[in-house]
């Protein structure tokens, strides 16, 4: 089955700096890669996602890059703000077909702290 590794486990930055979180996956059949922000006791919130036919996607201060050959993808947050502080999870899934359809395999999570 799929295995997703996420680094770093904790990340501390100053307000205004950039933050980068990296993930690798093992199953070359995975083709959908979402990123979630989770606050304590709450459900994960989708912040950005990317499909395997795209190498990069950007939404305001957030961007995701995907390298299918190397099987890794990264989250980039620019101009970080204290309200960006949360736990971030990457995930991988197969978006169509097969018994694994739609199943999300999550990375271990990154605790991001943005200091004012």
Partner 1 sequence: GAVVSQHPSRVICKSGTSVKIECRSLDFQATTMFWYRQFPKQSLMLMATSNEGSKATYEQGVEKDKFLINHASLTLSTLTVTSAHPEDSSFYICSAPNRGQSYNEQFFGPGTRLTVL
Give the interface with partner 1 as residue ranges (CB under 8 A).
1, 32, 34, 41-44, 46, 49, 51, 89, 93, 95-96, 99, 101-109
Q: What is the dihedral of CA 52, 73, 62, 90, to 10 degrees?
A: 100
The DSSP call for residue 26 is: S
- DSSP codes of every residue in 48-108: EEEETT-SEEEETTEEEEEETTTTEEEEEE-S--GGG-EEEEEEEBB-SSSTTBT--EE--
| 43/116 with CB nearer partner 1 | 43
Q: How far is the CB of 16 from partner 1 (least distance, A)?
A: 28
| 73/89 with CB nearer partner 1 | 89
Give the tokens for residue 11: 């990340």
Give the tokens for residue 48: 């950005």
| 53/60 with CB nearer partner 1 | 53
| 7/79 with CB nearer partner 1 | 7
Q: How far is the CB of 6 from partner 1 (least distance, A)?
A: 8
Q: How far is the CB of 106 from partner 1 (least distance, A)?
A: 5
Q: How far is the CB of 35 from partner 1 (least distance, A)?
A: 12
């Amino acid at each position: 089955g799929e295995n997703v590794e996420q680094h770093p486990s904790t990340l501390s930055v100053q307000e205004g700096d950039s933050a980068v979180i990296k993930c690798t996956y093992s199953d070359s059949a995975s083709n959908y890669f979402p990123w979630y922000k989770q606050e304590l006791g709450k459900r994960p919130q989708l912040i950005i996602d990317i499909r395997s036919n795209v190498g990069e996607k950007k939404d305001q201060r957030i961007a995701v890059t995907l390298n299918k050959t190397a099987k890794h993808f990264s989250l980039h947050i620019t101009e970080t703000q204290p309200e960006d502080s949360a736990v971030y999870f990457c995930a991988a899934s197969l978006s169509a077909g097969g018994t694994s359809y739609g199943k999300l395999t999550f990375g271990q999570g990154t605790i991001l702290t943005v200091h004012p």
